[in-house]
Amino acid sequence: MGWSQRFASLDSNADMTIGVIGLGYVGLPTAIGFHDAGFTVWGVDVSQRTVDTVKAGKNPTGDPDVDDIVPQPASERWHITTSTAEAVPQCDIVLVTVPTPITHDLKPDLSYVKAAGKAVFESIPRGSNTIVVLESTVYPGVTAQTWLPLIEDLGLEIGVDVEIAYCPERFNPGDAAHGVRSVARVVGCSNPEVGDALVQLYSQLTSEDVRYVGKLEVAEAAKVIENVQRDINIALVNELARIFPAMDVDVEDVLSAAATKWNFHRYTPGVGVGGHCIPVDPYYMIQRASDVGVPAGLITAARAVNRSMPNHVAQVLVDILWKAGLSAESTKVLFLGWSYKAEVGDPRETPAEPLAEALHQRGIAVSVYDPHIDPETFPASIEVVEDLTMAKNHDLAVLVTAHKACVDLDWEALGQQMNAPRVYDGRRVLDLDGLQKLGWQCFAVGRPLS
Ligand code: SAJ
C-alpha cells in the first residue's frame, strides 16, 4: 500500500507509530507533540540519564517550555528507550533529531547524523518502506551524501524498505509561541508521494503552514540560510556598535530611528552570538560553498564580526576599569548571566565563555550569577554566585544574558555591595537613565564611553 493510502486508511493516529531519535531541545518537544496529536511514539536517546528522566515524566532539557508537558509513563502510546533496535521495527516513520555541531576547527560535524542513520537503517524491517526523516540542521546535500551509502551498504531498497526525507526543525528554545505545534514546516524528498504523506503527518503536529518544497536539497538549503540571514543581520548591528561610539553616537539611538522605516529589520547588538544554531549553521553553508568552489565572503565576514565581539567588549571593559584607576590584577567583574539566550539554561557557544577568558588573560577575576545554569557546568576559573546578595566587592557588573532574573533585580542593594556601582549593559536592555539616578555609572555595547 502506498503512503497516501496508508494515511487515508488510518482509523486513528494511534494506529501510526512515530519514532524520534534524539530527545534533546528539538527531539523531546517533537516526540511530545506527536504524542499529544494522538500518535503512538517511540522516543530514543543514547543517554540513559535522559531516558530515565523522561520516563520519570521530567524534562532533561534546559528549555522551560518543556517543563511539566512530558507525558506521564502511564500512556500506552508513549515508549522511551536507549535502544534504536528496539524502537525502529515498531515505527512507520522515524524522525532523526540529533546534534549537528561544528568541530574545534569550525568544520561541520556530521558524526551524529551518520551514527543515528546507521542505527536506524540496520533496524528497519525489509519491505516495511519505513520513512526516515532528518530534522537536524545541515547543509544542502548532507542527507543524501551521508545516508544513501549506508542504505546501499545494507542492501536496502529505496521505495521498498526505506524512504528518506528532510524536514528542518524550526524550534526556538524558550519561546512557547514558536514551539513545534505552532511553527511552519517545509518537507524535502525525491519522492513527491512521500513528500505529500509527510505534509499530512506534520500537519497533524503544527497548526501552521506545512508544504512540500521538492528535493531534499531545497529544504536543507532553506533551513541553513534562515540562520545565515540572522547571523548576517546581527553582525551588521554589531559592526555598527563598534563604529558609532567612535563618532560619539549611540548605536541604539540610530537603530531605533531607522526602525521607524516600514521594512527596516530591527536587531540588537550584544556581547556576542551564542547557541547551537546561529553561530553554527553559517559554517555549514561556508563548507558547502567551498565544496562547489563559490566563495562565501559575506557569510564568512559576518561570522568573523560576531566572533570578535567578546574580545571587543573585553577591551572596552578593560578601558573602563583603567579609566577608573583600577589595575587588572586586583579587579573583580560580576557577569549577570552566562547562558547564550535569555530564559534558557543553555551554555552552548555562549559568548560569556570567550569574554571571561579574555578578562582572565588580563588578570581580571570573573564571577557569574545565572540561576538558569547548573552551577556544576561553569568553567573552573569562574566564581559562581548562586545568591546575588552574597556578591561582594565587584568593580564592574556586566549584563551578559537578558534573563529577567538579571534585569529585574534589586539594583540599589547590588550597588551597595559593589566596590563602586558600575554596570556594562551587554544586551542593551537595561534602563540606564533609571540606574544612573540610583548612582550607577552606566556603560553599554554600542554606547560612547564618554
Ligand atoms: N542575538 C543578538 N542580537 C539579536 C538577536 C540575537 O545578539 O538581535 C544573539 C542572542 O543573544 C543569542 C544568539 O544571537 O546569543 C542567537 O539568538 P537567537 O534569538 O537567534 O536564538 P536561537 O539561537 O535559539 O535561534 C533560534 C533559531 N530557531 C531555529 O533554528 C529553529 C532561529 O532560527 C530563530 O530565528 C531564533 O531562535 C529566534 O527567532 O528567536
pLDDT tens for each residue of 97-110: 999 998 988 888 99
Spatial separation of the C-alpha atoms in residues 150 and 165, rounded to whole Å: 15
Name the residue ranges covered by the structural domains of the chain.
3-217, 300-444
Q: What is the DSSP letter of 444?
A: E
Please tell me if the CB atom of residue 186 comes closer than 6 angstroms to any atom of ligand 1. Answer: no
Catalytically active residues, by annotation: 277
How many angstroms does the Cα of residue 173 sit away from the middle of ligand 1? 9
pLDDT tens for each residue of 247-274: 999 999 999 999 999 999 999 999 999 9
Residues 6+ apart with CB under 8 A from 149: none
Which atom of ligand 1 lies at the shortest distance from residue 278's CA?
Answer: 23
Spatial separation of the C-alpha atoms in residues 22 and 35, rounded to whole Å: 15
Q: Classify domain 3-217 at the CATH class level.
A: alpha beta
How many angstroms does the Cα of residue 278 sit away from the middle of ligand 1? 6
pLDDT over 80 (residue 69): no
Fold for 300-444, please state it: Rossmann fold (3.40.50)
Q: Comparing 41-50, 97-106, 237-246, 402-411, which segment has the lowest mean pLDDT?
A: 97-106
Q: How confident is the model at residue 68 (pLDDT cuts 50, 70, 90)?
A: low
pLDDT tens for each residue of 195-218: 999 999 999 999 999 999 999 999
Q: How confident is the model at residue 190 (pLDDT cuts 50, 70, 90)?
A: very high
How many angstroms does the Cα of residue 229 sit away from the middle of ligand 1? 11
pLDDT over 90 (residue 58): no
Spatial separation of the C-alpha atoms in residues 311 and 356, rounded to whole Å: 9
pLDDT tens for each residue of 135-149: 999 989 999 999 999
Q: Find, among 61, 133, 138, the residue nearest to 94 by Cα.
A: 133
Phi, psi (rounded to 5 degrees) for 80 = -125, 130
Please tell me if the CB atom of residue 277 comes closer than 6 angstroms to any atom of ligand 1. Answer: yes
Position 57 scores a pLDDT of: 86
Q: What is the DSSP letter of 102?
A: B
62 and 341 in contact (C-beta within 8 Å)?
Answer: no
Q: Find, among 136, 305, 178, 283, the residue nearest to 233 by Cα.
A: 305
Q: How confident is the model at residue 328 (pLDDT cuts 50, 70, 90)?
A: confident
Using the structure block, give the residue that is written with the C-alpha cell 508521494. Answer: 193
Q: How far is C-alpha 314 from the chain's CA centre?
A: 24
Please tell me if the CB atom of residue 268 comes closer than 6 angstroms to any atom of ligand 1. Answer: yes
How many angstroms does the Cα of residue 128 sit away from the middle of ligand 1? 39
How many angstroms does the Cα of residue 154 sit away from the middle of ligand 1? 39
Alpha helices in 99-245 (DSSP H): 111-123, 142-153, 192-203, 216-243
Q: How confident is the model at residue 62 (pLDDT cuts 50, 70, 90)?
A: low
300-444 shares the fold of 3-217? yes
Lookup: cell for 11: 482509523
Please tell me if the CB atom of residue 185 comes closer than 6 angstroms to any atom of ligand 1. Answer: no
Please tell me if the CB atom of residue 170 comes closer than 6 angstroms to any atom of ligand 1. Answer: yes
Region of 319 (left: φ > 0; alpha: ψ -120 to 50; beta: rest) is: alpha
Ligand 1, atom 3, lies closest to the CA of 268
Spatial separation of the C-alpha atoms in residues 136 and 131, rounded to whole Å: 16
Please tell me if the CB atom of residue 348 comes closer than 6 angstroms to any atom of ligand 1. Answer: no
Which atom of ligand 1 lies at the shortest distance from residue 401's CA?
Answer: 11
Q: Where is 166: in which H helix or E strand?
A: strand 162-166
pLDDT over 90 (residue 3): no
Q: What are the C-alpha distances in Å from 301 to residues 151, 244, 304, 401, 407?
A: 38, 19, 5, 24, 32
pTM of this prediction exceeds 0.95? no
Residues 6+ apart with CB under 8 A from 292: none
pLDDT tens for each residue of 333-342: 999 999 999 9
Helices (runs of H) and strands (runs of E) counted in the chain: 15, 14
Position 6 scores a pLDDT of: 80
* CA dihedral of residues 347, 348, 352, 355 (deg, nearest 10): 150
Please tell me if the CB atom of residue 287 comes closer than 6 angstroms to any atom of ligand 1. Answer: no
Spatial separation of the C-alpha atoms in residues 109 and 112, rounded to whole Å: 8
Q: How confident is the model at residue 179 (pLDDT cuts 50, 70, 90)?
A: confident
